[in-house]
Chains A and B, each alone.
Chain A
Amino acid sequence: MNDLILPQGKKANRLKTSSMNNKMVNDYWTDVFNAKAEGKLVCWYEGVAINPLMQAADIRWVHGEAWSALLAARNNEQPAQTAAEHRGYMKELCSYARTHIGCGVLAQNRGVEASGSSFSDALGAGLLGERIPAPDMFISAYPYCSTGQQWDEMLFRLFGKKIPIFNISVPWVWGNKPDAMYLGGSEFNEAKQYMVKQIRACTDWIAQQTGKKYNWDKLSEIMSYTKTAGRLRVEAMELCKAKPAPASFFDWTTSLAPVNFIPGGPAIVDYFEKTKAEIVQRIADNEGGIPQEKYRLFWDGIMNWNKIGWLANKFAAYDANMVAGRYTHMGFWHEFESIDVENPLEGMAVNYLVCPINLSAPLMIEQIIKLCKHYEIEGVVLHAARTCRAFSNPQFLIADAVQKRLGLPVAMIEGDMVDESFYKDEIVNSRVEAMLESIEARKRVGIAA
């Protein structure tokens, strides 16, 4: 298969707007690093995007996954991972959690005072991990993954059980009853109400922590920006139905911050307006997210943050455009329509409940099939993240379904979110190449028929 030999120098054609994203991310973390100096409370949390709840109460927040991903993407993850290993956390544990807990260990080691250096200084010194401001509170709201809830609990214990913690229990959308369906059915509605009740209790608890009345108007305002940003992002992604697709899954992963942890405000709306405009322009110019689009692929599974640029370029070199993915397209305020800005809790609950890991396999598979059809996908890459069972769990069922129902070939590859040592490049190469060969073979047969 000579046409699969990697053409040197073919690289992903990244969206220009991503540079705005970098700036937003740096500014956001700078604010977090300045929190103590500015007298703000800091909340550590993981899982779904509950940050609007904190923002409305003028609390600053550290999202564990975002933080670990940032450390990995900027090669600052090692000291935290080593500190965690030295305390006895094993390598097979969620690497996000290990990295984040490692930061907790480092913070404990140097005392729980203010961060002591600016974001950019700490980044330059490779000390980001230990300089993260220590928490004043924890909120745990982890969908599906028991490990997520326990991660908060272990942080709570690590900090001596002295820092207040609030637990929101997110039910898994399983579907015992015949009326179970995506976004509907009696169980889903019950789960939604249960979530609303807990989120409301959480706002009361936040008010206790700050000593101020909870600011519902502010929450509505934040959620209106969030809703708009969510809508613009989905619209921009849906435009990638075009051939060649003007942006790739890798672009959408680098654009997650504004719908995951950047404060809800005009900046995130502006970001997705510009992103969408760039997409529209690219379609008009017939410009793709990679130099030459020969194959259209779907990415199932979580991102590999150590390798994001590497993977984007690898697939670009294969002329394979990773057009969509479960991680990016099935979460992060993608159900923006359900948000009633005046009364946002229910819509928030809906988005939390249908995040990319919290649907049981039958419901999840229907959504993936829909996406594969919409984007005219020709093959599915399943990234088995070694330490993220939440994402890896349904992958054999997904592979089976897309093969049987859509006739798509699949490639299962091994890696991890932020632990580089689990990434196996040679497996990625051979499996992806085999899948592309099989797409080629199908195309030939298709043409003959």
Chain B
Amino acid sequence: MSIESILGTLEWTAENSLAAASQWKQASGRRIVGSFPMHFPGEMAHAAGCTPVILQESHEPITVGHGMIYPFYCGFTRSIVDQACKGDYDFLDAIMFGDHCVQVLGAADVVRAKLPNTRVHFYQLISSMSDPWSLGRARETFLNLKEGLEEMIGHSIDDEAMRASIRLFNRNRQMLRKLYEMRRAGDARLTARQMQILVKSSMIMDKAEHNRLLEELLAEFDKTRATAQRGVRVYLSGHFCQAPKTGVLDMIEECGGIVVDDDLYHGQRFISTDVDDSIDPLDALAKWYLERNLKVPCPTRVDQNADWENYLLDAMERSRADGMIVLMAKFCEPHMYYYPEIKEAFEKRGVPHLLIETEHELNSFEALRTRVETFLEVVKRQTAARRIAA
């Protein structure tokens, strides 16, 4: 398959996540376990013979959901509620989630109320990462999730099966990271939209199938030689739950930005960390959970060993980015809280950044374009001026 046709297949899955999952359920006969974003160990559901699917913000306008949630919630939360109210989740065998952003908890209560016949399982991951009991509690919590899964399937999950699933998922993350590395180095020309498709489809598709397509894709990229791109190298940061609208990503690149790296959930954040396949699987998952926040810090966690702002400055240097565009989902409290830390650190270091608030209903696209165009113009001039001064 050509690069285009592989990406085409993955794009369909990424953009039609529930249809794709439902088709797979028909074809494979496997149970589908939907999860909210952030820290669902898909490996465990896979080892239980299920297919894990991360629930996505839908492109549909929010309608009946308005009757169950206030408008001052992030687009992802409102969309989840809306999809539950519309019956879109009826085909799921279970919904499981372990992160406790206060807005998502509101959605969880509505989802459980709207899906009385679906197992809605909550395992509360400790969000304070550097306490003496953080690791132990994380293990207990994953055990709670395991018991929930076992109750559903009616038998226990074998450690060897867990390790096999872990290896499968690690392989997936490794290949996606490799593609990121190739893009950063200029060896693979992948737009921000394409990168999102690659990661997002991994959240939905059967992992073995996704691995097969990634292997083909890597082989294709190895055959081709990428030409150098011109423009402002942009780092994207933000969006911990929902995928940024591809239209926004396209717009950034149309305005002359080249997206070279990101810390998006539908990006590096999702694929940053592998699970150790040589130790007790629950120990390994607990370790993975804590390590993940050090690899790509998340403002939804409190962690005395991680500083998101410093991580971003370092990551920009590593990817030789000229400027950072912060994509903040409107009403995202963790992001709003942390943003002043980033702003301060970036201004102190003289690294340019632009804050964009994004919404489910994107109705100010032109105003966004104006900001992005101006920002890229400013970065270009400042970077050139720095050169001349040097």
Contact = CB atoms under 8 A, between A and B. Distances in A.
Contact between chain A and chain B defined by CB under 8 Å: yes
A95 B132 CA distance: 32
B333 A93 contact: yes
Q: How large is the interface on B (under 10, 10 to 19, 20 to 34, 35 or more residues)?
A: 35 or more
B127 A172 contact: no
A386 B331 CA distance: 11
Interface string A72-106: 00000000000000011110111001000000000
Contact of B333 (A146, A194, A384, A394): A146
Contacts of B112: 360-362
B106 interface: yes
A153 B106 contact: no
Interface in A177-232: 194, 197-198, 201
- Which of A89, A144, A201, A361 counts the most B-chain CB atoms under 10 A from its CB? A361
Interface in B57-77: 67-70, 72-73
B340 A384 contact: no
A154 interface: yes
A396 B300 contact: no
Contacts of B344: 87-88
A268 interface: no
Interface in B98-147: 100-103, 105-106, 108-110, 112-113, 121-122, 124, 126-128, 131-133, 137, 144
Nearest to B130: A167
Contacts of A90: 336, 339
Contacts of A174: 108, 122, 124
A157 B108 CA distance: 30
B109 A172 contact: no
A375 interface: no
A150 B109 contact: no
A92 B340 contact: no
B116 to A, nearest CB: 11
Interface string B23-50: 0000000000000000000000000000
Contacts, number: 120
Contact of B69 (A87, A144, A157, A396): A396
Interface string A140-176: 1000111101111110010001000101010110101
Contacts of A253: none
A46 to B, nearest CB: 13
- Which of B113, B121, B338 counts the most A-chain CB atoms under 10 A from its CB? B113
Contacts of A145: 102
B340 A87 contact: yes
A392 interface: yes
- Which of B304, B333, B343 counts the most A-chain CB atoms under 10 A from its CB? B333
Contacts of B334: 146-147, 150
Given A150-B299, A389-B73, A393-B105, A171 B124 contact: yes
Contacts of A245: none
Nearest to B126: A169
B126 A146 contact: no
A421 B330 CA distance: 19
Nearest to B335: A90
Nearest to A93: B336
A146 B101 contact: yes
Contacts of A32: none
A338 B337 CA distance: 36
Contacts of B127: 146, 149, 169
- Which of B72, B102, B112 counts the most A-chain CB atoms under 10 A from its CB? B102
Given A194-B137, A389-B103, A393-B102, 8 more contacts: A92-B330, A144-B100, A146-B102, A146-B105, A146-B127, A361-B112, A392-B70, A392-B72
Interface of A: 87-90, 92-94, 97, 140, 144-147, 149-154, 157, 161, 165, 167, 169, 171-172, 174, 176, 194, 197-198, 201, 360-362, 384, 386-387, 389-390, 392-397
- Sorted nearest first, the 3 A-B pairs with minimum C-beta distance are A393-B106, A88-B340, A167-B128
29 contacts: A87-B340, A88-B339, A89-B340, A92-B72, A92-B331, A94-B333, A144-B100, A149-B128, A149-B302, A150-B333, A150-B338, A151-B337, A161-B304, A169-B127, A169-B131, A172-B105, A176-B121, A176-B122, A176-B144, A360-B109, A361-B113, A384-B70, A386-B72, A389-B103, A390-B102, A392-B70, A394-B106, A397-B110, A397-B113
